[in-house]
Chain A
Amino acid sequence: MALKYTRARDRSALETGQRHPAPMEPSGLVGNWVNTDKATRGIFRLVLTDVNGTLMVRAFGACSPEPFDWGEVTTSIYSLGVDSQQAVGFKASYDFHFMETMLAAYLNKRILVVDSYNTFKDQSGRPRYFWRDHFHQ
């Protein structure tokens, strides 16, 4: 049966005849990641762990006097293409009740680039905002 697709990139496996039903490998993302900017106002540190094949993220926000522990949430992991099983990116969501944060992250030459998309749900009038942080291991 022909595979459905939305763009040529979806079809790579079909064209090569390869299938990789095995789970994706998150090991390249696992570890302690520290912001390259010590004075960041965003995310100070990330801890990524592999729990039975599920990548978990624990983020720490830049707060004074101590970083704010956001707690641990599950992620969805992504490879570089339909034929690859090596995870190079992840997506995760935090619901703080007064705000929601989506993390959209990927590895670029051993630097973890983390974009956060932040939506306030309280009555503070603060607009949604985007923020980018870079991390090294």
Chain B
Amino acid sequence: MSELRFTRAEDLPKADHKRTGAVNPAPLVGTWLNTDKATPGIVKLILSVRDGALVVRAFGACKPSPCDWGEVDGLVYSDGVDSNEGMAFTASYRFGFLETILAVYLKSGILVLDSFNAFKDDSGRSDYFSREFFYQQEL
């Protein structure tokens, strides 16, 4: 087998590495609620699995009811090349006037969500970053 290419030490597996390939999205699945009930950002995330892939559905803070952003595919990441347990994901929403990248990871049972928002209209609004925290809704 040819030598593995890498960009940093973390790209290289440990000696007993098993080739795992796909990352299991199951640890991320569920309904996640913002820890800030008054958030002006994202109020809720629904993460599910369809055909083995993560599906993301986000809801923005709107009145009188949250804005349903619809479903998009999520790319799932593990915490290293030796693991196939999902602990992070990215997803992209294209609203036409705005593009939002969600970059999200799990830490101690809290889902930490960073959103990178770029406006495509001529409104003069600055592209912005926001960080929000979510807990899992109990069944």
A-side interface residues toward B, CB under 8 Å?
3-10, 12-13, 19-21, 24, 41-44, 61-64, 68, 70, 76-85, 88-89, 91, 94, 96, 98-99, 101-102, 104, 106, 115, 117-119, 122, 124-132
Contact = CB atoms under 8 A, between A and B. Distances in A.
Contacts, number: 183
Given A9-B61, A98-B5, A117-B77, A129 B83 contact: yes
B8 A61 contact: yes
A117 B116 CA distance: 14
23 contacts: A4-B96, A4-B121, A6-B62, A6-B98, A7-B61, A9-B41, A9-B128, A9-B130, A41-B8, A76-B116, A76-B118, A78-B116, A78-B129, A82-B126, A89-B116, A102-B90, A117-B75, A119-B75, A127-B81, A128-B78, A129-B80, A130-B79, A131-B80
A19 B90 CA distance: 30
Contacts of A106: 114, 129, 131
Contacts of B63: 8
B88 A117 contact: yes
B7 A96 contact: yes
Interface in B3-49: 4-11, 13, 19-23, 40-42
Contacts of B41: 7-9
B75 A83 contact: no
Chain A to chain B: the 10 pairs with minimum beta-carbon distance, closest first: A125-B19, A7-B60, A61-B8, A8-B40, A89-B129, A130-B88, A78-B129, A41-B9, A21-B124, A82-B125
Interface of B: 4-11, 13, 19-23, 40-42, 60-63, 67, 69, 75-81, 83-84, 87-88, 90, 93, 95-98, 100-101, 103, 105, 114, 116-119, 121, 123-131
